[in-house]
């Protein structure tokens, strides 16, 4: 099975989950969260281990006792697992409230990632050590397409019309825009949290930009929150796609 087709199946699986009834969405949340977290974890763990190995090989002698003790250990594994689960949860929650243009950009990232991987492999094949070439190509192509995806999403967001929140208090803005108010269930609670963050940064941007002297730091906070959340989502998505290579390897075995 080609890698591009496998990644497309991952996209379609998530798209199908988003359009399921709420009861089925909540029932499938845990297995999807675990699966997405695992694929993200595989990607992060591979990159972290290679980065640690290169650093140790550069500064320490081969027989150094510190080289053995500074290898990637249990604490590093747990830290990467925690980050992976948080990124996977953010990814799933953002997909549940995503508009149509969001999915178009996610679909566009599939051929872009494949093109970046093939181009970097051809460009760097004669310069890098063979044992490091695949993982470094995956890392650099991931960073390249993630940066491009962040830029595209920010540009599209700035072009779209936003709810008018100028002059409203933060609590009034939440009451006006927050959906699923009072609905039970863990998924509904997580979605309300995600929507609260989204409404909060919109409120900060609209109410801080017009009064820069008094609230310039709020404007910076709003833009910073927007960028960080968008970057974390894009990073999680691209690491999920790169981790899909593990599924292809298991399929071939």
Residue 215 confidence class, pLDDT cut points 50, 70, 90: low
Average model confidence (pLDDT) across the chain = 81
Whole-number pLDDT of residue 180: 56
The more confidently predicted of residues 211 and 51 is 51
User: What percent of the chain is helix, strand and coil (3-state, nearest 5)?
Assistant: 80, 0, 20
Residue 8: pLDDT over 90: yes
- How far apart, in whole angstroms, are the C-alpha atoms of residue 18 and residue 16? 5
| 179 or 147, which is more confident | 147
* Spans of all domains in the chain: 3-252
Mean pLDDT, rounded, for 110-133: 87
pLDDT of 28 higher than 60: yes
Q: Is the pLDDT of residue 205 over 60?
A: yes
Q: pTM for the full model?
A: 0.83
Nearest one of 43, 229, 56, 53 to 139, comparing CA atoms: 43
Cα-Cα end-to-end distance for the chain = 12
pLDDT at 230 over 80: yes
In angstroms, the CA 247 to CA 253 distance is 10
Does pLDDT of 56 surpass 90?
no
Q: Alpha helices of 125-211 — where are they, by DSSP H?
A: 133-159, 170-177, 186-209
> Is residue 94 scored above 80 in pLDDT?
yes
């Amino acid at each position: 099975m080609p890698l591009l087709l496998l990644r497309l199946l991952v996209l379609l699986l998530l798209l199908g989950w988003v359009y399921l009834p709420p009861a089925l969405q909540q029932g499938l949340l845990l297995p999807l969260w675990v699966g997405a977290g695992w694929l993200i974890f595989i990607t992060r763990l591979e990159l972290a281990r290679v980065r640690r190995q290169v650093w140790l090989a550069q500064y320490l002698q081969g027989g150094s006792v510190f080289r053995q003790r500074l290898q990637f250990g249990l604490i590093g594994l747990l830290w990467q697992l925690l980050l992976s689960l948080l990124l996977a949860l953010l990814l799933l929650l953002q997909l549940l409230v995503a508009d149509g243009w969001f999915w178009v950009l996610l679909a566009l990232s599939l051929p872009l990632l494949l093109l970046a991987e093939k181009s970097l492999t051809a460009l760097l094949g004669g310069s890098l050590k063979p044992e490091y070439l695949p993982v470094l190509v995956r890392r650099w192509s991931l960073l390249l397409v993630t940066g491009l995806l962040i830029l595209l999403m920010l540009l599209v967001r700035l072009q779209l019309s936003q709810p008018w929140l100028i002059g409203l208090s933060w609590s009034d803005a939440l009451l006006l825009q927050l959906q699923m108010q009072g609905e039970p269930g863990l998924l509904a609670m997580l979605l309300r949290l995600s929507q609260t963050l989204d409404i909060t940064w919109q409120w900060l941007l609209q109410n801080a930009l017009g009064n820069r002297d008094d609230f310039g730091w709020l404007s910076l906070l709003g833009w910073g929150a927007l960028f960080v959340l968008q970057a974390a989502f894009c990073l999680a998505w691209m690491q999920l796609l790169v981790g899909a290579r593990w599924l292809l390897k298991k399929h071939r075995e």
